[in-house]
Structure 1
C-alpha cells in the first residue's frame, strides 16, 4: 500500500510539473502571437515527440522527457551585419553565434519578414519573455493564497502546549529546573496545557504573533491573562518577569542564536492548522518571496555541503537545493504520511506552488539562455536607442543577443553540472519530510 501511495504521489506531482511547464510556455505563446510573431512550435518536454497536432501556424505537442518545455519563435536573433546569415566560421566561439542565428531563422517562409521576433519593439519583447515566468508567479500566488485562506497552514496558536516549571535563560540550553530557579509566571498563575489565551489585559488576541509581542513588551508588569478552559472564560493574574529569550523574527518565530531581554510568561504555544486572512496570506507570500530570493543568492555557498551529501558522508540539510527528482520523491512521500487526506492535498499543492515560485525567480536571472537574459538584452537595446535619440546619433539598431551565446553556453554548462550534482544527491541522499 505504501509503494502504491508513493507512486500515486509521484504521478500527481508529475502532472503538476507538466501543467506548470505548459502554463509557463503558454505565457510566451499567447503574447508572441498577440504581437504578431510566428511561432512554429509549442512543446512540453524534451526529446522524441510522443504526440503533436498542428493548428494554424503552430505545432502543439508533448515530448518524452518532462523536464522542461519551449516555444520556437521565428527570428529570435537579428541577421549579421550584411543583412544575411553569415557563413560558418572556423572559430568555435563565432560558430556558436552563427549557429544560434541560423537556428532562429529556421522554417522562415515568404511573408515572415514582418513576423520576426527581433523586429518587435523592445517593450514588446520584454513582455513576451516576461510572460512565461509571470505565469508561474500567478499560479504560485493563486495556489498559496487559496490553500492558506481555505485550508490554512501549520502555525503556532494561542493555545498552551506546555507550561514551563521555572525561569531559565534561553542561552543556557537546558530544560530541567535546578535548585534556586524561580517559578515561571505561567506556572504560578495556574496556566495549564490546553488553555486557550483569548485576551491580554482585556484586549482580545487572535494569533500567536500578537500575543508574543504583548508579553515581551511588558517586562516587570502585572497583567491579566484571559483564557478559555473547558468552555468557560477565566481571568488569571500574573507578574511578567524580565528574562533572556530568543529574538523574535516579528512573525511569531525566532532568530536562531540571537537573544534579547524581554517580558517572559513561560509557556510553549501549541501548533495547529489555522486559516489565514487575505492580509496574513499576502504577508506570508511576501516572506516566501524574500526567502526565495535569499536562497537563490545563497545557492553557490550550498554547493560544498551538497557535494558532501552526494559523494561523501555529509548530511543532507533540510534547506539543501532539490531538483525535479527530489521534489517528485517528496511528492511521493507526502501521500505516505499518516495525516488526513486534506493535509496531504494541501502539502502537495504547496509543493507545486513552491516549484512555480522557484521557476519564476530562477528564470528572472539576467543570464542567457534564461528568459531574464533576453529581457536584459531588450532593455539594453531600448537604452542604447533612447540615448542615441537624445544625443541625435544614428540609431544603433537591434542589440544582437546572439553575440552573447558563448556566455550562454558557459552558463548552461554550469547549470547542467549543478543539475547533475543535485540529481545525484536526490538519488543517494534525498531530502525527507517524514
Structure 2
C-alpha cells in the first residue's frame, strides 16, 4: 500500500510541477504583453471546457479541463486582410475560410476604444519579447532547478573509494563473463585490496576521485604502482601492477560507446580489477550552465531526428523492439517514471527528491527548446513571422520602396492546422506507446 501511495505521489509531483511550469510560461507572455499595453482578455491553463475562472481587471484567469498546455488571449493577434480583393477571395475555399475565420476571431478581441492596444501593431522587437517571454521563463526555471540539483542535492559520481574487487580479469571480447578455474587473480585481488578501501594517492600523486585515478591506472600496464590506501582509519601503501586487458569504451553518459556499425568499442588498457563506489557530491555553480547546455543539446538533437525517433516508437509499440530510453515520451511516460522514482524504497529520500527535481528541470528545458521551433502555433512561429516582417521593411526602406506593412501570419493558418494535427497524432502515439511498451527505470 505504501508503495502505491508513493507511486501516486510521484505522479502528483510531476503533474503539479508541469502545471506550474506551463502557468509560469504563460506569465512570461502575460507580463510583457501588459507592459507594452496589449489588451489581454484571457489567461488560461489547459484547453477545452472551463473548470474555473475569475476576472481581475480586464483579464479573465482560469483553468480548463484538459491540462495539456495553456494560452493567453491577446487582442489583435492577426492583422486585417489587405485590400478588398483579398477579403473577397478569403471568403471562398476551405483554407481561405480558415484564414478569414482567424482574422474575424482576432478582430472580435478588440474592444471599442482600444483599437491601438493590439498585438500586431506593436514594433517587431516588442512582439519578439512577448513571444520569447514564455520559453525564456522555462529556461530560467530549468536553470534554477539545475542549480538546486547540482549545488544543493549533488549528483552521483565515482569516488576514490573502492566498491568492488574482481576475482579475475575478464577481457571484453570474452563471450562468457565469468572467471575460469585457471584464471589468474586480478592484480587488485592478488595485492590484497578490499572493498571500502579509499585510494588517496598513486605513486605519491594525490587522487580524490575515480576520474583522477583511472587514467593513471589505464596508462600503467606492466608498471608497479604504489597505492596509498586509507583502511579503518590507517594509511597503508599497497603495491599492485595493472595488467593489459580489453575493456569497453564508455561514452560520456556512461553507456558503452559504439562504432558506425553499432558494435561496441573496445580498448586495451591497464586494469587492476576494481570498480569505484559512487558518492553524492555537490557541484560548483560553474557546473550549472554546462549541464543545462548539454540538456538543450540533447533535446535539440531529438527534435532534429524526430521522424526517425517516432518510427522507432511505432516499431516498439506495435512490434517486438524495445523502446529507446533516450527517445521521446508523453506526459503519461513522464508520470510513470516519476512514480517509479518515488516508490523505490531502497533509494534514500534525498536521491529520489533530486531525481524528481531533475525530471521537472528537463521538462522545462524541453518546453524551452520545443517552443522555439519556427512553426505556428508555437512561439517560434510568431517570432519567425515578426523577423520576416522586420527583414521586409528593412529592405523596403533600404531601396526606398513603399512600406510592405505587417506580415499576414493568418496566411499560415493552414500550416498551423497541419502542425496541430501532427502534434496531436504524435501525442496519441506516445501515450499509446507509454501504456503498452513503457520506458521503465526498473
TM-score for the superposition, normalised by structure 1? 0.91
1:420, distance to aligned residue in structure 2 (A): 0.5
Cα distance in 1 for residues equivalent to 2:325 and 2:307: 16
Pick which of 161-170 and 370-379 moved more.
161-170
Q: How do 1:163-312 and structure 2 match up within 5 A? A: 163-178=165-180, 183-249=185-251, 254-256=256-258, 257-312=264-319
1:344, distance to aligned residue in structure 2 (A): 2.6
> 2:58 maps to which residue?
57
Alpha carbons of structure 1 residues 218 and 389: separation in structure 2 relative to 1, 3 Å? farther
Cα distance in 1 for residues equivalent to 2:253 and 2:187: 24
> What are the superposed Cα offsets for residues 366-390 of structure 1, whole Å, 9 maximum, x if unpaired?
1111111111111222222223333
1:427, distance to aligned residue in structure 2 (A): 2.1
Asked whether the equivalents of residues 208 and 252 of structure 1 are also in contact (C-alpha less than 8 Å), the reply is no
> 1:18 maps to which residue?
19
> What residue ranges of structure 2 are gaps of 5+ in the alignment?
259-263
Cα distance in 2 for residues equivalent to 1:166 and 1:391: 78
> 2:367 maps to which residue?
359
1:286, distance to aligned residue in structure 2 (A): 3.0
> What are the superposed Cα offsets for residues 391-430 of structure 1, whole Å, 9 maximum, x if unpaired?
3333222222221221111111111111111111122232
> 1:33 maps to which residue?
34
> 2:335 maps to which residue?
328
> 1:383 maps to which residue?
391
Alpha carbons of structure 1 residues 75 and 214: separation in structure 2 relative to 1, 3 Å? farther
> 2:48 maps to which residue?
47
Asked whether the equivalents of residues 302 and 309 of structure 2 are also in contact (C-alpha less than 8 Å), the reply is no
Cα distance in 1 for residues equivalent to 2:22 and 2:277: 39
Alpha carbons of structure 1 residues 321 and 198: separation in structure 2 relative to 1, 3 Å? same
Alpha carbons of structure 1 residues 83 and 230: separation in structure 2 relative to 1, 3 Å? farther
Q: Residue 172 of structure 1: SS of its match in structure 2? A: coil
Pick which of 256-265 and 129-138 moved more.
256-265
Q: Residue 398 of structure 1: SS of its match in structure 2? A: coil
> What are the superposed Cα offsets for residues 198-229 of structure 1, whole Å, 9 maximum, x if unpaired?
23333333333233333334445443332222
> 2:358 maps to which residue?
350
1:114, distance to aligned residue in structure 2 (A): 2.0
Counting matched residue pairs gives 434
1:8, distance to aligned residue in structure 2 (A): 2.5
Cα distance in 2 for residues equivalent to 1:384 and 1:238: 72
Pick which of 50-59 and 199-208 moved more.
199-208
Alpha carbons of structure 1 residues 179 and 7: separation in structure 2 relative to 1, 3 Å? closer
Asked whether the equivalents of residues 156 and 252 of structure 1 are also in contact (C-alpha less than 8 Å), the reply is no
Q: Residue 108 of structure 2: SS of its match in structure 1? A: coil
Alpha carbons of structure 1 residues 58 and 236: separation in structure 2 relative to 1, 3 Å? same
RMSD of equivalent CA atoms: 2.5
> What residue ranges of structure 1 are gaps of 5+ in the alignment?
none
1:319, distance to aligned residue in structure 2 (A): 2.5
